[in-house]
């Protein structure tokens, strides 16, 4: 072990359900409560879920674009969210959260599922846009609820970046990204030491309901494997509980670079957990069993990065 630990105290701030009618201001109040609680326990960084400001709206099929766009933020921070940024600046605490981003780029209106890291001065220091969008595009009426992320968002265009923040190397991903080993490997190759992410994961998966009882298991399985295989801390935060008749899993957790869960939420409500993450511990893995310079054989992995082949019809 390194003689000089490099500790960042991180809080994972799980949110219980956000109702369709709940205002952003109400969600922000809940987030501020958790943030104050985190600061009272000396946290330097607090991590909130994916789409933390609204209900998980891709579960509904909307005909009108205006109905969809009302769930999106056209600037960040904006008037309703400003109090969260102000509080963070006052408390001198950093935070990460997800939201739906509507932006004009090169004259084109774009919709992204986005997350940002805000530094302890209340400034956006890093941004990520979700790359692995799950779900479907058309209204599939046989489902108990829809999962229309592929309809409402486009694939993120910022890649998997790693940022020097909070005296470490920090990366972000969102929800379904966590299931894909490539997400963490791309950050792992940049020496990532802490990955922060939020998720909204239904307990029921309509295309394969026989896996419903495995949802919590698959959540932790993906995260623990990724932490171990890349020697990184991972903080994964749920929006949990029964949201508009849709059961979302909890399981918010903080995972060490050894793959061990060091803290885990026990409820499906607003709940805070903390861990002292010693970033020096990443070396235990990164300089040993998963020393990429020494042991990786990328010339044998070319299939992974080859372009997708067209699926045959009715695939």
Asked if residue 103 lies in contact with residue 74, where contact means CB atoms within 8 angstroms, the answer is yes
For the chain, the farthest-separated pair of C-alpha atoms sits apart, in whole angstroms, at: 59
Rounded-to-integer distance, Cα 287 and Cα 95, Å: 29
Contacts with 193 (C-beta within 8 Å, 6 or more apart), sequence order: 168, 169, 170, 232, 233, 279, 282
Among 38, 65, 69, 34, CA closest to 52: 34
Rounded-to-integer distance, Cα 166 and Cα 164, Å: 7
Asked if residue 264 lies in contact with residue 219, where contact means CB atoms within 8 angstroms, the answer is no
Q: Which contiguous run of DSSP H or E holds residue 296? A: none
Distances (CA, A) of 252 to 53, 199, 206: 18, 9, 23
Catalytic residues: 50, 130, 175
Rounded-to-integer distance, Cα 131 and Cα 51, Å: 15
End-to-end CA distance of the chain: 50
Asked if residue 272 lies in contact with residue 254, where contact means CB atoms within 8 angstroms, the answer is no
């Amino acid at each position: 072990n390194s003689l000089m630990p490099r500790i960042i105290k991180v809080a994972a701030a799980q949110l219980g359900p956000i109702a369709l009618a709940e205002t952003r201001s109400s969600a922000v109040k809940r987030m501020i409560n958790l943030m104050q609680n985190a600061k009272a326990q000396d946290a330097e960084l607090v991590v909130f879920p994916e789409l933390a400001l609204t209900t998980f709206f891709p579960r509904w099929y909307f005909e009108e674009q205006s109905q969809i766009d009302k769930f999106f933020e056209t600037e960040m921070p904006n008037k309703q969210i400003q109090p969260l940024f102000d509080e963070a600046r006052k408390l001198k605490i950093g935070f990460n959260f997800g939201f739906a981003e509507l932006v004009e780029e090169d004259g084109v209106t774009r919709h992204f599922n986005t997350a940002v890291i805000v530094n302890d001065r209340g400034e956006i220091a890093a941004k990520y846009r979700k790359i692995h969008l799950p779900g479907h595009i058309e209204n599939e009426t046989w489902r108990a609820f829809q999962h229309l992320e592929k309809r409402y968002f486009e694939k993120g265009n910022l890649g998997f970046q790693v940022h020097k923040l909070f005296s470490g190397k920090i990366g972000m991903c969102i929800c379904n990204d966590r299931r894909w080993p490539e997400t963490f490997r791309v950050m792992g190759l940049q020496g990532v030491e802490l990955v922060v992410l939020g998720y909204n994961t239904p307990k029921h998966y309509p295309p394969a309901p026989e896996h419903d009882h495995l949802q919590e298991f698959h959540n932790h399985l993906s995260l623990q494997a990724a932490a171990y295989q890349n020697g990184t801390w991972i903080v994964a935060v749920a929006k949990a509980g029964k949201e508009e008749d849709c059961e979302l899993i909890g399981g918010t957790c903080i995972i060490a670079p050894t793959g061990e869960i060091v803290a885990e939420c026990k409820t499906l409500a607003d709940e805070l957990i903390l861990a002292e993450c010693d970033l020096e511990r990443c070396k235990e893995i990164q300089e040993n069993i998963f020393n990429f310079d020494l042991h990786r054989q990328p010339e044998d992995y070319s299939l992974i990065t080859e372009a997708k082949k067209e699926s045959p019809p009715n695939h």
